[in-house]
Amino acid sequence: MSLDGKVAIVTGSGRGLGLAYAQELARQGASVVVNDVDADATADAVAAIQAAGGRAVAVVAPVGPTETAEQLVNTAVERFGRLDILVTNAGVLRDTVLWKMSDDDFDTVINVHLRGTFTTVRAAVRQMRQAGAGGRIICIGSPTGQRGTFGQTNYAAAKAGIVGMVRTWALELKRAGITANTVVPVAATAMTATVPYFAAAVRAEANGEPMPAFFRHDLGFGTADDVAGLIAFLGSDAAAAVTGQVIGVGGDRIQIWTHPEAALTAHREGGWSYDALREAWPTTFAGAAQTVGERFPELPEEFKTA
């Protein structure tokens, strides 16, 4: 198996996408530390992996504190002897528009997503560098972090911040043979189940039916299992040269997102004054202005609900 002998930590893996990642890593031969705040979900996840012939152990703790990060790494080393792969998937949502967002709404999401990714990766990298055998850091991003989403100031900030950290880590960890990548999944989850646009796809999955091609192909929207293969690949030796990337995956589609680049460059001797910008903006700059938010094609009539 491609990950035989490897050891992985997957945060937020009691259910949903995280569980799919943990199961696929185990299916490919890795021993897995399963983490969640829900003790029952974590126990069920470990039991499912073991029932399928895999190796797994549970750590029930909230991601964010340094103590949790160290507990996860120590558990991997104590139970399985090493650490090769870290998948930072844990997250929470506190959606509301900017003017209604409380300090707690903002801090909670930043603490779990952004600080939790930082503390867990830091602990994992310390162990990987000490062991000297390289490693794989796989952080979960979101289209929201790439393009923004109405009502998700906190989540957008966290996910965009994760991408920035991963690009930095790819530079810092190269000499140690540790790769760092961001995966942007697009899949049926508890969150997308509440969005009317995806209702037909979510309903098909719930009924055990294939998702319509419009969702899988045109939107790149699929199941959690559609994302898990990329996670296992990035954790393998086959991906040793892949680092610093933001890779979108869902349904039948995979994408490599561009790093931010200047859309237009213009020079003016003496600099750009207010008057110069006011005159030049409509003709020189306006055409290069970037869109924000996700852009979906019109939903076919057959998938629209009353």
pLDDT (tens digit per residue) in 130-152:
999 999 999 999 999 999 999 99
For residue 206, give both structure tokens. 């719930």
Phi and psi angles of residue 158, each rounded to the nearest 5 degrees, phi first: -65, -45
Between CA 16 and CA 129, with CA 139 as vertex, the angle to 5 degrees is 130
Kind of pairing between the strands at 178-185 and 85-88: unpaired
- Quote the pLDDT of residue 1: 64
Burial class (CB in 10 A: 0-12, 13-18, 19+), 10: buried
For residue 103, give both structure tokens. 């300090």
**Nearest-angstrom CA–CA distance, 27 and 55:** 9
For 92-119, what is the mean pLDDT?
97
274 is catalytic: no
Length of the chain: 306
**Domains of the chain from N-terminus onward:** 7-187+223-256 (3.40.50.720)
Which tens digit of pLDDT belongs to each residue from 235-248?
A: 999 999 999 999 99
Kind of pairing between the strands at 31-36 and 246-250: unpaired
- Quote the pLDDT of residue 306: 46
Which tens digit of pLDDT belongs to each residue from 9-26?
A: 999 999 999 999 999 999
Q: Check whether 305 has a pLDDT greater than 80.
A: no
> Do residues 24 and 228 lie in contact, with contact meaning Cβ atoms separated by under 8 Å?
yes
The SS3 assignment for 254 reads: strand
- Residue 20 corresponds to which amino acid? A
- Quote the pLDDT of residue 254: 97
